[in-house]
Amino acid sequence: MKGKQIRKSKVLQLIVILIVGFAGINHAAELSPAVADTFVPARCVKADFSGPLMTRVGINYTERIAWLDPDWLFEPFKSKEKTEKYDGEFLGKWIDAAVRIYSYTGDEQLRAKLDHTVRALVATQEDDGYIGTYTKSARYTHWDVWTIKYTLIGLLTYANEFQDKKVLDACQRLGECFIKHVQQISPEVFIASSFHGGMANTSILEPMCYLYEAGGDKKILNFCPDIFHQDVLKDIQNSVFGVGKIYERQSNYLGLLEYGRLTKPEFVESLTKAISDKIEAKTYYPVGAVSVGDRAIKGTMPVRKESSGFGWTFGLGKELEMVSPQERFYGRDGSEGCDTVTWMQLNFELFHLTGEIKFLEAAECVAYNQLSAHQKPSTGTFDFFLSPHGVRTFANRHTNYCCMHSLPRAFAMLPEMAVGSMKGSPAVALYLPGTYRVPVKTAKGSKEIDLVIDTDFPVTGKGTIHVKADKPNRFDLMLRVPNYTTSFIAKVAGKSYQGKPGEFLTISRKWNKDDKVEFDMKMDIALIPLYPTAKQNGRKVLRAVRRGPQFLAVDSTTPNKNKLYKGWIGTQKYKVPVDRDGEGVVMYLKDAFMVPYADAGQTGGYVEVFFPSMEWDDKKAPASLEAISR
């Protein structure tokens, strides 16, 4: 996923170009990637924490990243007493998220925390270059390399944002120390020394590629094939999406995708096909969850049966009875948050590389649904293993678990994904309110403009985009028209432009200093099947209601049509017409009032999003749903 850019100072004697990378890498000018980005993300210079998704980004900022004391996460780096734990990964994830948030908030208190933490972390570097949490005798075993991976990602993001040569040098020394170790023991021994068939270790490929991009050291790039995981490489070679432990596997995909972008285009082509096939086959929950527990969903969707108790439950190739919240917490039935995050990253990255909207819409679906549903909006904490049904189990703020630090990173990335440039033209990919600085090519040369997006999307489909330039210039402005729209109209200076779903609408004109684009999109209301081929297997077809990018759910605490639950965070509630002559839905769906899936469950209610035998009253999808005021 492309994000921040390193802007190296003249003191470093390095010339740079504005190609941006997920870890915050600005690539040295002599580097010419084999695959150029089609969509290059722009910098969000001022976030606007309004609208459903940016509200969640703001909650993540104040209630999680700014709230957290990083000294708590730093302690393992001081003691260096670990022999098998993975808690060293948490600090690098926090640094990465905090830098991103600082870039679009300018929060100086957060910056002070960052500076203090990074200085302290770099000060722990040993003479041989090692930065980590393990004892000398246990280094590079178990989860140590996994910790180094996230340490590199966090420190590289910091070095990029703040042009810090000392931190970049520390990353270089850490990378060299790691390479020396692997070469001493052999790549085979290295891969075998960690969990999940070695995938935890080999996922360090991702930041090693970023380290090469930051400094241009060819020996790092030449070393990378030594740490390819052979099973994951077979996935790439066969253009298939693998199975098994999916967080580590997808992390390896991210590394191989970045390596392919740099020097091996066939990796990009194969992963593009594999992810595309998975999207087309719908072998994941439509709400954006790609796993059950922490394992990939295989070729068919989970079986579901009615429990003798109440509600519904999922299983992989077998039937599971309804499990308790405590059992769900340990992953028997929900989808792990880290899996959600890496699935979103993969799709954003593929959109950047290919410009294909299906990848953008898959990532957007994750952001508005599964990702946001993981978060408890009142506290900014998370349900680690989130099921599409049942009672959500949110951890307390002090819980240390991988998802508790992966999910905040994902929220922190979102403002960087909204706006960018395509073929030198500013392009709006996600309608997130905020101010974005975009490079643009004009007849008079390259310039920067600001796009200021003001919208409550998807509460409504309306909004404005202010185009702010220092002087009039002619260029194209590209607006994404989502596939779920039935109508998209943009107006500028009295002229209307109509968009086609699934494409970018291009507005070519001479833009004045403060022109304003008014857009209005109509979002369709659809019944989305959980398992499209269920009839072939004699199963019930389970469906969910989707409005625009949001899926809707029933929450047992919000049955009253006139109001939402007291203390509810969110403003959306809809009356949904259903067929009352069929089997019905579930016992409490009597009045068919629904809220966004992302909002459901925040007050302890039972949540359901997929239903059997669900049809519209008139057998046709309604043009709109009745919105219920608070």
The CATH number of whichever domain residue 66 belongs to comes to 1.50.10.10
pLDDT at 298: 60
> What is the C-alpha to C-alpha distance for residues 385 and 317, in angstroms, rounded to an integer?
19
| Structure-token pair, residue 363 | 């990532």
Same domain, 405 and 278: yes
Count H helices and E strands in the chain, helices first.
Answer: 18, 31
Contact between 267 and 257 (Cβ < 8 Å): yes
Q: DSSP E strands: which ranges in 417-549?
A: 419-422, 425-428, 434-442, 445-455, 462-468, 473-481, 485-492, 495-498, 503-511, 514-523, 525-529, 542-547
Residue 412 lies in a domain: yes
Residue 224 lies in a domain: yes
Indicate the residue among 417, 436, 460 that finishes a domain: 417
Give the range among 107-111, 183-187, 426-430, 550-554 with minimum mean pLDDT. Answer: 183-187
pLDDT at 525: 87
Give the residue-averaged pLDDT of 276-294: 82
In this prediction, residue 305 has a pLDDT band, given cuts at 50, 70 and 90, of: very low
Nearest-5° angle of CA 94, CA 249, CA 293? 80
DSSP secondary structure letter of residue 369: I
> What is the C-alpha to C-alpha distance for residues 494 and 109, in angstroms, rounded to an integer?
45
Give the range among 114-128, 409-423, 604-618 with minimum mean pLDDT. Answer: 604-618
Indicate the residue among 476, 499, 523 that finishes a domain: 523
Contact between 417 and 1 (Cβ < 8 Å): yes
Residue 35 lies in a domain: no
pLDDT at 538: 53
Same domain, 502 and 569: no
Same domain, 347 and 453: no
Give the residue-averaged pLDDT of 1-9: 36
CATH code of residue 501: 2.60.40
Give the residue-averaged pLDDT of 583-594: 53
Residue 339 lies in a domain: yes
Give the range among 284-293, 498-507, 534-543 with minimum mean pLDDT. Answer: 534-543
Indicate the residue among 477, 498, 523 that finishes a domain: 523
Residue 338 lies in a domain: yes
Give the residue-averaged pLDDT of 189-217: 88
Give the residue-averaged pLDDT of 274-298: 81
Same domain, 451 and 575: no
Same domain, 64 and 211: yes
Q: Is the pLDDT of residue 497 over 70?
A: yes
pTM: 0.90
Regarding predicted confidence, which is higher, 329 or 576?
Answer: 576
150-166 residue pLDDT tens: 999 999 999 999 999 99
pLDDT at 25: 42
Q: Is the pLDDT of residue 261 over 90?
A: yes
pLDDT at 301: 43
In this prediction, residue 194 has a pLDDT band, given cuts at 50, 70 and 90, of: confident
Q: Taking the CA of residue 297 as centre, how many other CA atoms within 13 Å lie in the half-sphere pointing to its CB? A: 28
Contact between 316 and 302 (Cβ < 8 Å): yes
Give the three-state DSSP class for 289: coil
Q: How many domains does the chain have?
A: 3
> What is the C-alpha to C-alpha distance for residues 490 and 408, in angstroms, rounded to an integer?
34
Same domain, 143 and 184: yes
> What is the C-alpha to C-alpha distance for residues 384 and 381, in angstroms, rounded to an integer?
9
Give the residue-averaged pLDDT of 178-189: 90
> What is the C-alpha to C-alpha distance for residues 4 and 214, in angstroms, rounded to an integer?
12
Residue 498 lies in a domain: yes
Contact between 585 and 542 (Cβ < 8 Å): no
Give the three-state DSSP class for 271: helix
What is the length of the chain?
630
What is the DSSP pairing of strand 40-41 with strand 445-455?
unpaired
| Structure-token pair, residue 335 | 């989808």
Q: Is the pLDDT of residue 313 over 70?
A: no
The enclosing H or E element of 148 equals helix 144-162
Closest CA to 569 of 65, 56, 61: 56
Same domain, 253 and 115: yes
Give the residue-averaged pLDDT of 385-408: 87
Residue 57 lies in a domain: yes
Q: Is the pLDDT of residue 512 over 80?
A: yes
Same domain, 197 and 124: yes
Q: What is the mean pLDDT of the chain?
A: 84
Give the residue-averaged pLDDT of 109-133: 97
Residue 5 lies in a domain: no
Same domain, 504 and 387: no
pLDDT at 540: 60
Q: Is the pLDDT of residue 309 over 50?
A: no
Same domain, 338 and 253: yes
Give the residue-averaged pLDDT of 560-570: 78
Range of the domain at 478: 420-523
Give the range among 354-368, 388-402, 447-461 with minimum mean pLDDT. Answer: 388-402
Closest CA to 323 of 336, 334, 335: 334
Same domain, 353 and 426: no
Q: Is the pLDDT of residue 621 over 60?
A: yes
| Structure-token pair, residue 297 | 């969903």
Which class for 161: exposed (0-12), middle (13-18), buried (19 or more C-beta within 10 A)? buried
How are the residues of the chain apportioned to helix, strand and coil, as percentages rounded to the nearest 5? 40, 25, 40
Strongest mean pLDDT among 189-198, 436-445, 484-493, 569-578: 484-493
Same domain, 363 and 454: no
Q: Is the pLDDT of residue 314 over 50?
A: no
